Structures are given as C-alpha cells and as structure tokens.
Structure 1
Amino acid sequence: MNPHSPAPKPASIPQQQSQRVAAAALYTALVVLALWMVREFIPAVAWAGVIAIALWPAFRAIESRRWFKGRTTLIGALLTLAVGLLVLLPVAVGIAQAAGEAHSLLGWIRGAQETGVPVPDFVAHLPFGARPLTEWWQANLARPLGASPAMKDLHGNAVVAFGQRFGLRAAHALLHFVFTLLTVFVIFQAGPRLSGTILRGAERAFGQRGVELAQRMGAAVRGTVTGLVVVGLGEGVLLGTGYALAGVPHVALLAAVTAVAAMLPFCAPIVFCGVALWLALVPGATVAAIAIAAAGFVITFVADHFVRPVLIGSSTRLPFLLVLFGILGGAGTFGLLGIFIGPALMTILMVLWDEWLQPGSGEAAVRR
C-alpha cells in the first residue's frame, strides 16, 4: 500500500445508514438460513437445554467437590449417562416384559377370535348404562372376534402398515434422542464457561434486565421440570404401591408407565383407569378396582391442584392460572417440549407486565 496515497473518505451519513440496513439484512438472512439448515435438530437442542437447565444445580454441586474440580468432561459424561439410563432402562424393561408375555397374549387373542370375550360381571351392576353396554358388548365382543363388526377393519395389511410406520417413528425418535444426549454432554462439558457466555450476551444485548430475565426463565424451566417430573415419579410410586396391594401383575412396569403419564397433563387417569378396568374383569376384584380408581383420582387431584402449583409457582413466581395456561398452551403449541417452554414464556410475560406497572419504567428505559 502506498503511504502517500490519500486516506479513504469517510462514508456519508446516508451511506452509513444504508450499510447498517444492508448488514442487518445480511445477518438476518444468514441466521435464518442456518436455522433452516439445522431445523431437524432444533427440538433435540431444545430438549438438551431443558435437561441441562434442570440438572445444572446437580452439576454445580458435583463440580464443587474437590475430586471433581475442573473435570467438566467427566461430570458431563456421568450426567449424560444417568439421563440415558433413566430413559432407556424403563423402555428396555418394558420391551423385555412384553416379549415375555407375547406368547400368553397371542394365546388370549386366538381364544378371543374363536370364542369372543364374555361380558364382565361388573357391567350388570353398573348404576346406569348397564343394558346398552351389555348389548353393545354382546354384539361386538362376545361373539368370535373374527366375524365381529368392531374388528372388521383390522386386516393383515393394515397391521403391517401400522408396524412399519411405528418402526420408522421409533427409529426417528431414537436418532433425536442420541443427538439430545450428545448436546447435553457438550453443554455440561462447556460448563460454567458456557453459562457465563450466555449471561454476558444477554447483558450486552438487553442490559442487566436481560440477565435477570434469563435467570428467571432458567428458574421457570427448572421449577417446571421439578413440578412435573418429581411429582410424576411420586404419583407413580404411590399408585404402584396400590397396584401391588391389589395384586396387579407387572407392578414395576405399570408404576413406571403411570409415572411417565403423570408427568403429562391429564394422562395419569388413562393408566390407572385402565388398570382398574382390568381388575374389574377379574372375578372377585371389583372392590380392588374401585379402590384403585378412587385412590388414583385423589392422588392426581392433590398433585395437580396443590403440590405442582406450589413447586412451579414458587420458582417462577407465577399464579396458578398462568402456570396452568403455560403448561397446557405450551403443550398444544409446541408438543411435549412446550410443557417446559410454556411456563418460561409466561414468566417473560409476567416480568414485562411488572415493568409496565412500575412508575417511571418507560422513562427509565428511554434514558437507557
């Protein structure tokens, strides 16, 4: 470069403005393109974020130990392994038990196809609807199921097609789960350095209020995980104890299924009512069936209306109604992941509302 060449003239103000607009448009286009390119993996990354936020106190507690000081790779590997086992072990146990019971199930299905399923004794003692239910059962299930109108649409090709679709979905879910575990490991391996980077980025973009908002969102996700997962596990333990006392087979598997269902809104009654219905079909177990159904409704009512609102609301500082709206609205909008995202979004809404109500907040924001 010639040292005697004249210095470049500074761009005029209109040119600077047009350059800023062009740069912003370019950056936005690049970000959108990058997100579109990795769109298939965004749910896995989001799940990894939820898991990492929920386990972050455990990570910090383990790292504070002298032997684990600075060994984020080891801590990340242990926590990732624990998450993988927590999900895969119940699935493996369920598959093993299902395979063990496959022979008996096939025998029952063959018998039902040849002779039908007799009307249970409890149907005749129902306070209402006994007659129409008995007539429907005799018309559709009491006769051999091979010629039953309720089973006429079940053909071999339909079953094979369903099996193929189920297999593809299972493989897709397994692939996403592997990427989720990999992302969880990377997040924990980065450790405090990653959390500090995120907080610094939030402070630079939105100021100190951005840092506080990010922290409250993390607390909202953590409280939601605690309220849903921990309470769901408690419901599974309590109802599993009831299953054992009632003599239901495969207590451990049914308790695990109940715990998973209890983590989702209004899904636990599907499981324990199914168990109660099975008990009602067993001669002499009608009282146990009624007890299981009653205990299930009492436990879920207490958990959903008293325990969960306290756990989630205390960490997010949200009213019960907003917690409920966040969980149900998030599930309806984003699926299962929305159960944890919804309360965090409600927390943002509540923070913005509090700032709006503070006198002089608008003028302070303008001055900043």
Structure 2
Amino acid sequence: MSEYFRQRGGTIGFVVAIVLTAIAFFWMIRPFMVYIVVAAALATLFYPLHLRFVRRFKGREGLSALMCCLVLVLCILGPVYAIGQMVTLQALELHQSAVPVVQRLMEQDNARILEQINDTRLGQYIDVRRVDWGATAKEVLGAGAKAASTVLNKTATSVISFVTGFFIVIFTLFYFFRDGQRIVARLKYLSPLNENHENRLIEQFVLISRATVKGTIVIGLIQGSLGALTLLCFGVKSWLVWGVVMVVLSIIPMIGPWLVLIPAGLIHIALGSVWQGVVIILISVVVVSNVDNLVRPVLVGRDAKLHDLMIFFSTLGGLMLFGVLGFIVGPVIAAFLVAMLDIYGNEYREHLDREEAGGA
C-alpha cells in the first residue's frame, strides 16, 4: 500500500512540476505570444510556397525556409516603404494647403471669404458669418500642434516596436517553415486528445488563419484601393492618405471605408457638387461595401467564416488587448473556442440529448 501511495504521489508531483514549469515558461514568453501566433498563421498560409522552394532546392528545408522568408520580407517591406513615402508627401501637401486657408480666415479680409462660403449650398443651412472663425482657427491650430507633438514623441517608440516585432515574426516564421511538420507531430504526440480532435483543432486553426490573413488583408487592400481611386477620380487631394485610412478601417468589423467615403460625398453635395457627391456615396454603398460579400467566399470559402457577432467581438477584443496584430490573434482564439465547443458537443451528444429530452 505504501508503495502504491509513493508511486501515486510521485506521479502527481511530476505532473504538478510540469504544470508549474509550463506556466512559468508561458508567463516568461507572454510578451511574444502574439508574434508567435501571427507567425504560425503566416506559416499555414505560405507553407505551399515553402514546399515549392523545397522541391526547387532538392529537399534542403533550411535554405527553402530562408528564401521564403526573404520573399515575404521584400513583398511586405517594399510596398510599405513606397506607400509610406507617398502618404508622407501627400500628408505634407494637405498640411501646406490647409495652412493658408486658416491664415486667411484669421486675417481682416475674412468677411469676403465667409461671404463666398455663405453663397454656396452650405450657406442655406448654416450662417457661417456668425461663427468666430479666428478663435476657432486658434483652437484648431493649438489642438493640432498638441497632437503633432504627441505623435512625434511616440513615433520613435512605435517604429522601434514595429521593427522589433516584425523581425521576431520573421525569425519565428523561419523555424516554423523549417521544422513545422516536426513541431506539429511532437505536439500531437504529447496531446491528451484523440487524433480526430487534434485534427479538428489543427484544421480550424488553418481555416481561420487563412480567413483572417488572406481574407481580411486582401479584402482591406481591395476596398481601400477602390475608395482611393474613387476619391482620385473626383479630384480629392491626398487621396492616398485617405486610401490608407480606409484599408485600416476595413479591418475593423462593421466599420469600413464608408466612414471616409460617405462624409466625402456629403461634403461634395454641401459645396454644390451634387452629382459627384451622390456618385461617391453610391460607390461606397453599392460597390466598396459589397467587396467583402463577393470576394471572401472566393478567397477563403464559407466554411472558415465564424458568426458575424463572434468576428466583431473577437476582432475588437483582439485589437484592444493585443494591438494591431490582434485582428489575427482574436479570431484565432475565437475559432479555437468554437472548435472545442463543437468537440464537446460531438463527444457528449447522447448525454446532452438525454438532458434536453428530460428537460422537455
């Protein structure tokens, strides 16, 4: 009996030691968990590219993983740098064109300018001559200067954080490409779940990773590009700046490019360009907003799509908790929850059916 309790106690103690060590390890690497999940999601999406390189380099997985990572770096950093340069130039042009307008409003001859504004369609609804534009301009300039100071103070930290996170993702991605199959096999070997449940979780991770990375980013780029081209066609300055804003907005569920396009259309209508404003609004509602419904099933299939409410809260929660990369991590966590609930429902179906029948 004493031998039994000694063996039993040794087993329990060993399990407790494993659990405590695992908790300590995950607590230690918790700042990097977001990058690990993002790297895993990217690995599932681009693994076919890695296999193509493996065949080309005759089975040398290390070289293939390195080439795959280099291709991704060039494909990501190249366009980001080019667009960043153009956005910076257009933002400076927007600032330079806005400053003279504000200065003229603060000068003595602003009565003539206000009279011209009052003669437009906007003047039918608002008497702009009653507004103290001088004081308003000073408040706007003060708020703008304060915001610019805050942005400049945080820019260096944000750039360093982005660069560090980016290279952590690429570094992790290299090993996921090279050793991914061995890592998955080892995790399945140590998992207490049966093979069907393991495959279900892996399948769900792959599907939601493709849905969030390929679907969300590609659809965001399409919507932002269509919105930017719309603004460009109707002569809106700094169209590329607003295009980048629309790409970011399209990532957030229930928001999207309409938050830029509809106000742009209303401003055109208020300033007398009625048909231009109506066309911008129609393009926003009919074309840009329906890109998600038309393109997402083609890109990722309907099977990977979570319920809209689950997507909404998991994406917003991920963004708030994990930052920019949360739009990937949030839905991945939600997908695992849904998969585990499905496994539970299938495993205990008979018991749940009896409970439901008994309750009825």
Tell me whether the two structures share a fold, i.e. TM-score over 0.5: yes
Provide, for residues 306-351 of structure 1, a one-character-per-residue CA deviation record: whole Å limited to 9, x for no partner. 6547765623264455444544454455444343334444444444
Match of 2:49 in 1: 58
SS of 2:186's partner is helix
* Deviation by residue 1:84-123 (Cα, 9 ceiling, x = unmatched): 3343334322442355457645543542452238669599
Question: How many Å apart are 1:172 and its aligned residue?
Answer: 1.6
Partner of residue 87 from structure 1, selected from 59, 69, 76: 76
Q: Compute the displacement of 1:286 (Å).
A: 5.1
- Alignment partner, residue 292 of structure 1: 280
Provide the secondary structure at the position in 2 that maps to 1:143.
Answer: helix
Which structure has more relative contact order (CA 8 Å, sep 6+)? It is: 2
Deviation at 1:124, TM superposition (A): 5.2
CA distance in 2, matches of 1:99, 1:318: 37
| 1:21 counterpart (12, 21, 26) | 12
Change (3 A) 1:67 1:193: same
Structure 1 Cα separation of the partners of residues 91 and 209 of structure 2: 40
| Structure-2 residue corresponding to 1:214 | 202
Structure 2: how far apart are the matches of 1:278 and 1:226? 34
TM-score (norm 1): 0.74
1:168 aligns with 2:164: no
In terms of fraction of residues, the more helix-rich structure is 2
Higher mean alpha-carbon deviation, 170-179 vs 267-276, is at 267-276
Which residue, 86, 89, 100 being the options, matches 1:97? 86
Within the candidate set 21, 32, 40, 2:23 is matched to: 32
Query: Hey, what does 2:126 align to over in structure 1?
Result: 131
What is the identity, as a one-letter code, of the residue corresponding to 1:316?
A: A
- Is 1:148 equivalent to 2:138 in the alignment? yes
Give the structure 2 partner of residue 3 of structure 1: none
Bigger mean CA offset, 257-266 vs 164-173:
257-266
Count of matched residue pairs: 342
Question: Of 340, 347, 351, which residue of structure 1 is paired with 2:328?
Answer: 340
- Report the residue type matching 1:131 in the other structure: I
Q: CA deviation at 1:44?
A: 1.9
Q: Is the 8 A contact 2:90 2:238 kept in 1?
A: no
Query: Gaps (5+ residues) in structure 1?
Result: 1-9, 364-368
Shift of 1:144: 7.0
Q: How does 1:1-368 map to 2 (within 5 A)?
A: 12-60=3-51, 62-63=52-53, 66-98=55-87, 100-101=89-90, 104-105=93-94, 107-116=96-105, 125=121, 130-131=125-126, 134=128, 138-139=131-132, 142-143=133-134, 148-153=138-143, 159-201=148-190, 204-208=191-195, 209-249=197-237, 254-265=242-253, 266-273=255-262, 276=265, 287-305=275-293, 307-308=295-296, 314-316=302-304, 318-358=306-346, 361=349
Structure 2, unaligned runs of 5 or more: 107-112, 352-360
Report if aligned partners of 1:235, 1:259 keep a CA contact under 8 Å in 2: yes
After superposition, the Cα gap between the structure-2 partners of 1:172 and 1:342, relative to the gap in structure 1 and judged at 3 Å, is: closer
